[in-house]
Structure 1
């Protein structure tokens, strides 16, 4: 019997079964971790317009600073955290991160003033450092490159769904005035912190660090995944350069700035959309209750989740093209300032929905780019560096938006700034796409020349 033929005949079935098991076993759980992560990170935006700002006496700039200072601690430890994850193992490190941030998030229940709020937000960033790039790297190391767009899209669905489900949930929790003697916004902080601690404990026992350690894969599935991933690692010369090579890599820095633009738009929406909706009464003579505002805040994110999934399916079918990223960035750049000129609440939310769809369509596909040319410790450092530089926008965006609003009394100028950064992302992706095509054409020409020399 020809064993190699038999192996090839079995391979499609093994491949399909292995990818399906990873998608079913790991992605929903890691996505749930991300859901809780993003909810704890953005809970301050729900609390702000529902009693916290008035109770603590915060200006818009102070709220923006408290929202953004999270990212200072987060950014300082991002790269070290991801390197530690590579050494310690994702199971232990991700579980440790979740328990740490859950404990800090719980303390927001009893915050008393701006100083305490800013300190806790800084510490929350320290506790959460490394979770997102660690989760992206973890999932990327479980599937070959051709499946990563699909897997990361399923994972990334947690982010828009955090607002779709989290905003009404936060609204419901804030309506529970007096539970444990707490104001509604304080009880909301309590209610969203506990799941992080619980999930962190579960993750310690549930996750596995690699396919070889997964008891839920068959021997054939383990062998196929391990051999595919090993072969890919050997094809990444940048990965063998180590951590120092990452900091000298121009493509890594370009991706970092590209990601900065997307994150600037994302967190402006996350932190200030509830405030924009709260101003509907002034602009359009309409008013909504706390729970209704939560539902309205969720509206842009449900279509965004659908577009994210469909866009990533197209990437899987066609292969990633530069326009899969620069196209949404350009649409977001044009749409976000237009929301401030809409003539009704419905039209305002419709335009904001276009912006949300644009950002979320691009993000999961963007994260397939670093691991295409980085491997090993360089991949850990590169993903963390890109996330670090990009997430600096998480500090800049809310602070600048709040300061510009205090200065102008309007969100018009802040939204034009958002559009400018999204336009920067589009331009960078166009330039990176041209560079990749030029490099590919050069390599192809060199290969042909070499072939002619070997076969005169």
Structure 2
């Protein structure tokens, strides 16, 4: 039997690229309206406030559907459920091309939220079935590279597709939605063919290796759930640490989606730029976010390091948005790069906490609960940004709300604790 370290490397190589590719497409399809914002306002008469509401409505229906989706995935398996999610969201994303006004915009964004619900928490739960605690922050960070890659690739691609304006009688933004929705449906069948539900169903591990891995993961989950007293889903609502993670994640998501949906339009105020130039500039902060996701989560190997990195990253987000609000084109972009660098250094660490306090179906539901409540920040951030823009006439005014919320999040990170001081140590002792 190969060593756990070798097995771990094999798992990273065999399943993570497929999960990252799925999230790249999901994030492109949920945020590409950022590139279409200004054109849809002109072509359809959608106001900045209505745009912010539509951008955020995705997260309301997404959030409400997440816990049921994750519990279904726990029963039917990741392979089938992720395939279903990808097909439905790909079709609905392409249908965004047929928006006629504010209400059809709202309805399709809500349907897209229902369709995609469960992908992120589902994959985070799936990762807990393949990696022990000390490796999960690294695995979560790699998965979240999908967001960075989506914005690095998606913004310039969207800028190019917007130049197809008039081709076949369609607007450029209509071509963008159609062309970017199709790949998700194709990749769904690759997921069905190549993604095993759990280690003992894989072909790249021996039976002995798979059973040993599942036993080590079960021992960690049992120790963490026993230490925190959480064995059922209803216990999540009474666990102060999980509620603390929810609150921090809420402030984090306000920042992430405010930048995702409004950065192209903020960059558009920096000078006379065409859509391709705006797309290229929009991608720059997300290159930094990819670097943060690769460099920092892997350092979070114990409870104290995780807490320190969580606090540092939230402070970095506050500093970055402050620079974005007060700086011009150069300092502002540097600020957005700083904020983005910290986005996905924090998020993968936050999602290691539920798995040290829950197990089984309670873990699947608990991860979905954290993401569900946290994602209401994905509604609030874009809404406030759009409302403040329309009220003040400045695309930057809403950034101060983001700064205030993330400052609160930074203070809360100092209270984070795991189910045991370090479940990994408990697991080793048990062996």
Tell me the TM-score range normalised by the shorter chain.
over 0.9
Determine the C-alpha separation between the residues in 2 that align with 1:347 and 1:56: 34
Structure 1 spans left out of the alignment, 5+ residues = 1-9, 281-285, 442-456
Determine the C-alpha separation between the residues in 2 that align with 1:101 and 1:358: 28
Query: What is the match of residue 305 of structure 1?
Result: 290
SS in 2 for 1:137: helix
Report deviation, 1:69: 0.8
Deviation string 1:273-304 (CA, Å, 9 cap, x unpaired) is 11111111xxxxx2111101000000111122
Q: TM-score, normalised by structure 1?
A: 0.88
Alignment of 1:180-259 (within 5 A): 180-235=168-223, 236-237=225-226, 238=228, 241-259=231-249
Query: What is the match of residue 97 of structure 1?
Result: 85
Q: Which has the larger radius of gyration?
A: 1
Query: What is the match of residue 254 of structure 2?
Result: 264
Determine the C-alpha separation between the residues in 2 that align with 1:149 and 1:412: 33
Determine the C-alpha separation between the residues in 2 that align with 1:241 and 1:223: 23
Query: What is the match of residue 445 of structure 1?
Result: none
Please tell me whether the aligned partners of residues 239 and 375 of structure 1 are also in contact (alpha carbons under 8 angstroms): no
Structure 2 spans left out of the alignment, 5+ residues = 423-431
Alignment of 1:73-92 (within 5 A): 73-92=61-80
Query: What is the match of residue 375 of structure 2?
Result: 391
Q: Count matched residues.
A: 421
Please tell me whether the aligned partners of residues 337 and 416 of structure 1 are also in contact (alpha carbons under 8 angstroms): yes
Query: What is the match of residue 136 of structure 2?
Result: 148
SS in 1 for 2:416: helix
Please tell me whether the aligned partners of residues 59 and 113 of structure 2 are also in contact (alpha carbons under 8 angstroms): yes
Determine the C-alpha separation between the residues in 2 that align with 1:41 and 1:310: 26
Query: What is the match of residue 292 of structure 1?
Result: 277
Instruction: Quickly say closer, same or farther: Cα 1:73–1:440, change in 2 above 3 A.
Output: closer
Query: What is the match of residue 422 of structure 1?
Result: 406
Determine the C-alpha separation between the residues in 1 that align with 2:229 and 2:58: 31
Determine the C-alpha separation between the residues in 2 that align with 1:30 and 1:398: 27
Aligned with residue 274 of structure 1, among 254, 264, 277:
264
SS in 2 for 1:300: helix
Query: What is the match of residue 14 of structure 1?
Result: 3
Deviation string 1:399-420 (CA, Å, 9 cap, x unpaired) is 1111112112224441111011
Q: Does 1:373 find its partner at 2:353?
A: no
Determine the C-alpha separation between the residues in 1 that align with 2:232 and 2:18: 31
264-273 or 103-112, which deviates more: 103-112
Query: What is the match of residue 39 of structure 1?
Result: 28
The 4+ residue runs of structure 1 with deviation greater than 6 A are: none
Please tell me whether the aligned partners of residues 20 and 143 of structure 2 are also in contact (alpha carbons under 8 angstroms): yes
SS in 2 for 1:91: helix
322-331 or 309-318, which deviates more: 309-318
Q: Does 1:328 find its partner at 2:313?
A: yes
How large is the RMSD of aligned CA atoms in angstroms? 2.0
SS in 1 for 2:352: coil
410-419 or 259-268, which deviates more: 410-419
Deviation string 1:208-251 (CA, Å, 9 cap, x unpaired) is 11100001212332132122112223212258621111122222
Query: What is the match of residue 68 of structure 1?
Result: 56
Please tell me whether the aligned partners of residues 319 and 335 of structure 2 are also in contact (alpha carbons under 8 angstroms): no
Please tell me whether the aligned partners of residues 129 and 214 of structure 2 are also in contact (alpha carbons under 8 angstroms): no
Q: TM-score, normalised by structure 2?
A: 0.93
Instruction: Quickly say closer, same or farther: Cα 1:318–1:372, change in 2 above 3 A.
Output: closer
Aligned with residue 13 of structure 2, among 3, 24, 39:
24
Aligned with residue 415 of structure 2, among 431, 442, 446:
431
78-87 or 199-208, which deviates more: 199-208
Report deviation, 1:126: 0.8
Deviation string 1:31-88 (CA, Å, 9 cap, x unpaired) is 1000000110001111113x22210101110110111111121111111111111111
Report deviation, 1:342: 1.4
SS in 1 for 2:203: coil
